[in-house]
């Protein structure tokens, strides 16, 4: 299975720029997607196809990468962005998720 590796946690101040990384154990082309999950809620799609912003998601969120290295950027960060962010690949079967990066806003 394709393993997706994310750093476990980050802490930033409001107004700063934050990058969350996701590294795949094998190429997933641009079949990488990003989700935001707040406690007690279901995940919410932010970015699909590595760099495409889901409808209704603020333009503060952006994604980049291809192959094995991907990045989710939030610029500027707001207090409401406190959440866990997951990457997910849909290029290789079975689809897999990263373990999540917990973002704290100081």
Name the residues that contact another protein, by CB under 8 A: 31, 33, 35, 42-45, 48-49, 54, 86, 88, 90, 93-100
Total residues belonging to the chain: 106
Q: CB–CB of 21/35 below 8 Å?
A: no
Q: Which C-beta is closer to another protein: that of 61 or that of 77?
A: 61
Q: Which C-beta is closer to another protein: that of 65 or that of 100?
A: 100
Q: How far is the CB of 86 from another protein (least distance, A)?
A: 6
Burial of residue 13 (number of CB atoms within 10 Å: 0-12, 13-18, 19+): exposed
d(CA 44, CA 69): 21
Q: How far is the CB of 84 from another protein (least distance, A)?
A: 10
Q: How far is the CB of 17 from another protein (least distance, A)?
A: 25
């Amino acid at each position: 299975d394709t393993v997706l590796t994310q750093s476990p946690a980050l802490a930033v101040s409001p107004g700063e720029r934050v990058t969350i990384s996701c590294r795949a154990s094998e190429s997933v082309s641009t079949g990488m997607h990003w989700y935001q999950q707040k406690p007690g809620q279901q995940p919410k799609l932010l970015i699909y196809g590595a760099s495409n912003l889901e409808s209704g998601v603020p333009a503060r969120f952006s994604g980049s990468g291809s192959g094995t290295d991907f990045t989710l950027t939030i610029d500027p960060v707001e207090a409401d962005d406190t959440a866990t962010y997951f990457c997910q690949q849909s290029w290789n079967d079975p689809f897999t998720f990263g373990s999540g990066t917990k973002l704290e806003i100081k």
